[in-house]
A and B are shown apart, each in its own frame.
Chain A
Amino acid sequence: MIEKGKIWKFTGVILLIYVILAGLLIPLKSGIESVVPAYGTAGEKLEIEVTGYNTHFKQGEKNLRAWLKWENGNAVSASEINIRDDRKLTLNFLIPGNLPEKKEVQTVTLLIDNEIDGTSVLPSAVFITAATDIITSENVRWVIPGNFSRPDHITFPFRNILGETIRNTYFHVPLWFGMMFLFLFAVINSIKYLKNGDSLYDLKAAAFTHTGIFYGLMGLVTGALWAKNTWGAYWSWDIKQNMTVVALLIYAAYFILRASFEDPEKRGRVSAAYGIFAFTTLIPLLYVIPRLTDSLHPGSGGNPAFGSQDLDNTMRMVFYPAIIGWTLLGCWISSLQFRYLNLQKIRDDQE
């Protein structure tokens, strides 16, 4: 049987295995990758070729429906559907002459629904130009799309910019959470050290800070890779990226400070005091300033960090275990680091 003191380590490992398996294996929900051509004219026939992502058009042929939907909720159904394979189909629409809006160019949303994939949505799929002379004789019926099917398997949401990189949510974000927890544990140990002067607490604080910086670097690297795929560059001079580097510099200085003291007791006191002070500045740095300025990150410019837009219930099922799993793993790494530092100290004491 597993020893009592080791249960948390096993919990962490099991959670992380679950996170990696579920996070990487659950497919994305079907989506629409491209629509060609992406423009049409009111009162005319429109034929568009649609490329889907993770779709099963051929398998779900029987009940496949498609709409072009205007902002006010009205829509037109496809008059003809030609399915070529699972990912490609051609749709024919009769665009009404009298459009619901007054704008010169109107954007419409494409909806495709079948029993296997559920509903795939592409906002602003087609631009419709208003007709020069209004044709009223057109016999087109406005419909309200409804009776949508649900996908028959478990999925993660499909977002056009993110694509498969949405899975990075289980690595990039929980690593930051883990870093904050590790720094918090370091502060708790620093406070304990200042209170009773037991050098073990000093070593624990140092170990937690060490792992915290490592997690911060990992968060930065996963974030940079994500940024390359979604924002187009590894480094976009985003306020959160910059503030994170500053935070890591502050903590790097912690080790410079530690290295410059010979006497272990003095080193413990000074580095504990600096660690607490550094953690205090981390709060405005990471949680106040980025919210005041524009940022590419979600949760900036006054928005809450995670809205219903960013996480759905399936993602939550993986995301929350990911936070716990990464934090527990961080604690395990820290405990190994602590044992190493402690052995080093014992050896130094003997000499």
Chain B
Amino acid sequence: MKDLHFILVLFRKEFLLEFRTRSAISGIFLYVISTLFVVYETFVKIQPNVWNTLFWIIFLFVAVNAMVKSFVREKGNSVLYYYSLLNPAYVLLAKIVYNALLLLVLSLLIWGLFIFFGDNPVKDIWLFLFILFLGSVGFSVTFTFLASLIAAGNQNATLLAVLSFPLIIPVILMLVKISAHALRLIQDTAVSGDIAILVAIDLLLCGVALILFPFIWRD
């Protein structure tokens, strides 16, 4: 119970920090609108299979931009205080949960804007929502963990993209494949197997990240 409480406190801290400045949300909002504007201005009409790919690529870039900041604030001695006070894995877990929720909100935002500017090719809404959730978790785990690695060395943001894009490919390939189901682009009875594999990948990465994180934060 106490552990859960710590995580909730850390989660609340993340949320409040974001809520006070609203820097991520507002910056990302502008980014999404301008990207979609360019996309619809140039494509005019988007076929469902192109829509599927575009959606995930835009989401990928949004996620990278949103996640770069996740460890920027964690500098200096106050962080050492957290880490020595609590289990460092909680700090990472709280960040992963917070980032997953942030990404879920952002993905819903992107979807909404896609519908607003064009039309909605998604046929199976519940499946698509579930995929958005799984995608947010997978992105959140990978990006948060890599951001923590990079933050250890005062590195610039481009390094995150370099490191994370190859690593995110297994997740994004599974996402595109399953979301093609939700768009009824392919008919395949094995969709539950694909979802199980995606969940397994998410859990595997999350587990490894939580095990490794306590070794990284020390200065």
Report which A residues bind B (CB closer than 8 A).
194, 246, 249-250, 253, 256-257, 260-263, 266, 269-270, 272-274, 276-278, 280-281, 283-285, 288-289, 292
Contacts and interface: CB of A to CB of B under 8 A. Distances in A.
Interface in B168-192: 169-170, 173-174, 177, 190
Nearest to B215: A194
Contact of A281 (B190, B205, B212): B205
Contact of A274 (B155, B163, B177, B218): B163
Given A270-B152, A292-B194, A249 B212 contact: no
B167 A278 contact: yes
Interface of B: 145-146, 149, 152-153, 155, 159, 162-163, 165-167, 169-170, 173-174, 177, 190, 194, 197, 200-201, 204-205, 208-209, 212-213, 215-216, 218
A294 to B, nearest CB: 12
Nearest to A257: B163
A42 B163 CA distance: 66
Contact of B197 (A249, A260, A278, A284): A284
B170 A273 contact: no
Contacts of A246: 166, 169-170
Contact of A276 (B146, B152, B167, B212): B212
Contacts of A285: 169-170
A270 B149 contact: yes
A305 to B, nearest CB: 18
Given A277-B205, A281-B205, A266 B163 contact: no
Contact of B216 (A273, A278, A280, A281): A273
B57 to A, nearest CB: 16
B145 A277 contact: yes
A288 B169 CA distance: 13
B139 to A, nearest CB: 13
Nearest to B159: A260
Given A270-B149, A270-B152, A253 B197 contact: no
Leading 5 A-B pairs by shortest Cβ distance: A249-B166, A250-B166, A273-B212, A284-B170, A194-B215
Contacts of B149: 257, 270, 273-274
B155 A260 contact: yes
A243 B43 CA distance: 29
Given A270-B149, A273-B216, A289 B167 contact: no
B175 to A, nearest CB: 12
A278 B146 CA distance: 11
29 contacts: A194-B215, A249-B166, A250-B166, A250-B167, A253-B162, A256-B163, A260-B155, A262-B153, A266-B153, A269-B215, A269-B216, A269-B218, A270-B149, A270-B216, A272-B215, A273-B213, A273-B215, A276-B208, A277-B205, A277-B212, A281-B167, A281-B201, A284-B170, A284-B197, A284-B201, A288-B170, A289-B170, A289-B173, A292-B194
B208 A266 contact: no
Contacts of B155: 260
B159 A257 contact: yes
